[in-house]
Amino acid sequence: MPPVSAIQRMFAALLILLFAGCVTVKVSLLEEPGPLKEDKVSGAGRDKILLMDISGIIMEGPRSLWSMRAFTRPDRIKEELEKAGRDSRIKALVLRINSPGGTVSASDVILHEILAFKKEKGLPVVACLTGVATSGGYYVAQAADVIIAYPTCITGSIGVIAMKLNLKGLLDKVGVDPEMVKSGAWKDFWSPFRPASPEEKGMMQAVVDSFYRGFVEVVAQGRKLPLEQARKTADGRIFTTSQALELALVDKAGYLDDAINLAREQAGLAEARVVRYHRPGSYRPTIYSMLPDLEMAGPQFLYMWWPGDL
């Protein structure tokens, strides 16, 4: 019988471990996910004001490790509101908004959830616009009874944008020729592998116009403005806080402590604790949690400020 080599012995040992079973030790490089925790930010007393952060790009999908805190997603907002809804000591909500906007869908879901919470709980909501609160960020602010903006804030950019990359020139240079089998003339609508046809641009414009009308109606309702007045400000331009004040897009200039004090006054509280929720990991127990992370897989309609051409 030929001698057993070291490699053969190693392979045999691996087979024994595989089929006989072995004890393994789990080592997590990331902190395990867990439920939301409440942190006190400031103040004192039994009653609470919830400070909710809406920052970065507003979009759907699960939270990626690389994104960290760069996005606001409906699942987190939904979970925070559900936790606040179970706490009878929450007497007011302050939205701290620092976002250029994001997808139409995610912005609308967040607005819907905050409005539903506000209606159910009957408590005041104050929005504080900080650095940039444009497009979808401003859209979400329409849930507030009062909007306060930092004196240095940029807001506005009311409108919708849809974009794609036309890769045909690049593919021609590298010798790649896409092939498509489709069931109908428009099944590859807005394909990135060729220029958009006039018909496609017209169809896309119709969708953008529909979302735009919805945005204007939300602003008119939220700011209690005549529809035509809201439409005049909704040409996509950005505004400083002083300009936004003149156009009635915000109520006053101020800072976060002003928004908190106003929320406390509107709730009729002599004193209150300001609290926020946080959670390490990626615990996502709501109906918006498991949406596929496919934000850039197809045409995207954005309530977002996008300066310059691609």
Catalytically active residues are: 135, 187
Token digits of residue 109: 């879901």
Q: Are 100 and 135 in contact (CB under 8 A)?
A: yes
What distances in angstroms separate CA 201 from CA 124, 166, 253, one per listed residue? Answer: 43, 13, 40
Where are any strands of DSSP class E within the chain?
A: 37-43, 48-58, 71-72, 90-103, 125-134, 146-149, 154-156, 161-163, 238-240, 252-253, 273-278, 300-304
Q: Are 134 and 305 in contact (CB under 8 A)?
A: yes
How far apart are the C-alpha atoms of 201 and 189, rounded to whole Å?
10
- Dihedral over Cα of 189, 191, 194, 197: its sign: positive
Q: Are 54 and 77 in contact (CB under 8 A)?
A: yes
Q: HSE, CB side, 13 Å, CA atoms: give it for residue 130.
A: 12
Strand, helix or coil at 101?
strand
- Residue the block writes with tokens 């004192």: 44
Q: Are 131 and 154 in contact (CB under 8 A)?
A: yes
Query: Which phi and psi (to 5°) does residue 259 adopt?
Result: -65, -40
Q: Are 97 and 129 in contact (CB under 8 A)?
A: yes
DSSP state of 68: T
How far apart are the C-alpha atoms of 277 and 35, rounded to whole Å?
10
